[in-house]
Amino acid sequence: MRSATNKQEWNDAAAVYAAEKAAYASGTAGGGPDRLCCPLLPSDVAGLRILDAGCGTGPVSRYLAERGATVVAVDVSDELIDRGQAAEEAHPLGITYLVHDLLEELPFEDGAFDAAVAVMVVMDVEDPLAAVRHIGRVVRPGGQFVFSLVHPCFYRPKVNTAGNGFDLATYFDRDRIEGRYIERNGTRADYRQFHRTLGDYLNTLADCGFCLVQFHEPGDSQLAISCRKQAR
Ligand SMILES: C[S@@+](CC[C@H](N)C(=O)[O-])C[C@H]1O[C@@H](n2cnc3c(N)ncnc32)[C@H](O)[C@@H]1O
């Protein structure tokens, strides 16, 4: 597995992350367990085959499956997948959970999915653009890919040392790895994020045959991109 460190980090973070997700579970601001990506998916997902890439404990998968989608949920962390699987066994929704590293080719045929969603995942993967390519391959022509990111321009600590703006030098430093952490109930879990520029993401989408549909910047240093794969 190429992402052994990510796997370890997210396995170690699983309990803290699950506690955080549970705490936010009712925060449905306009789109279920996530306010950025879900509202950009079709309002009626019934019958759609949807890939939840980097599903964590599966809150987005469950939200979509409850609305009639057929969901396959993949994540590098077996600890997180186990939690999703346990939820599936307690309340079956037909979700297939799979431990998978997004830096490896997904074990599905080209165009196997009508849509893919990746909620706050891509910048956590060691090679974000490879992950986008792998996801892009399995979305069918005419299908949709929606993903959210911390905003590569404005997410802390990319402000300059004066704290009042945007640091151009670090923005173009694509090798930069940023330390992040989640803290809950006095326990802290550290993990890394991998910086790419907006142009890197948009050009990768174009390379994968995607057309931009929406570029949503809510103004709080996060963003969501929705794109549609060109029909051949
Ligand atoms: C911020 S969490 C988001 C989880 C989920 N999408 C949600 O909304 O709750 C980032 C997720 O990316 C997963 N991840 C990190 N690197 C990965 C990789 N190489 N392949 C697959 N998943 C990965 C982590 O295990 C973690 O579940």
Residue from 76, 79, 119, 222 whose mutation best tests the ligand 1 pocket (most atoms within 8 A of CB) = 76
pLDDT-above-70 percentage for the chain: 91
44 C-alpha vs ligand 1 centroid, how far in Å?
A: 25
pLDDT of 33 above 80: no
Ligand 1 pocket, Cβ-based, cut-off 6 angstroms = 3, 6, 10, 21, 34, 54-56, 59-60, 75-77, 80, 101-103, 119-121, 124-125
Cα–ligand 1 centroid distance for 180 (angstroms): 13
* Per-residue pLDDT, 109: 98
- Cβ atoms of 160 and 154 closer than 8 Å: no
pLDDT level of residue 32 (50, 70, 90 thresholds): low
Query: Taking residues 75-80, what's their average pLDDT?
Result: 97
pLDDT digits (tens, 9 = 90+) for 86-95: 999 999 999 9
Q: By C-alpha distance, which of 147, 188, 149 is closest to 19?
A: 188
Nearest ligand 1 atom, CA 118: 6
Can the peptide bond before residue 128 be classed as cis, meaning omega within 30 degrees of 0?
no
Give the model's pLDDT for residue 31. 47
pLDDT for 25 equals 60
16-42 burial, b if ≥16 CB within 10 A, otherwise e?
Answer: bbbebbeeeeeeeeebbbbbbbbbbbe
Confidence of residue 156 (pLDDT cuts 50, 70, 90): low
What is the distance in A from the centroid of ligand 1 to the CA of 78?
A: 11
Mutate to test the pocket of ligand 1, among 82, 95, 102, 124 (most ligand atoms within 8 A of CB): 124
Q: Which amino acid residue places its CA nearest to atom 8 of ligand 1?
A: 119
Ligand 1, atom 26, lies closest to the CA of 56
Apex 34 CA angle, 10 and 114, nearest 5? 90
The model carries a pTM of 0.94
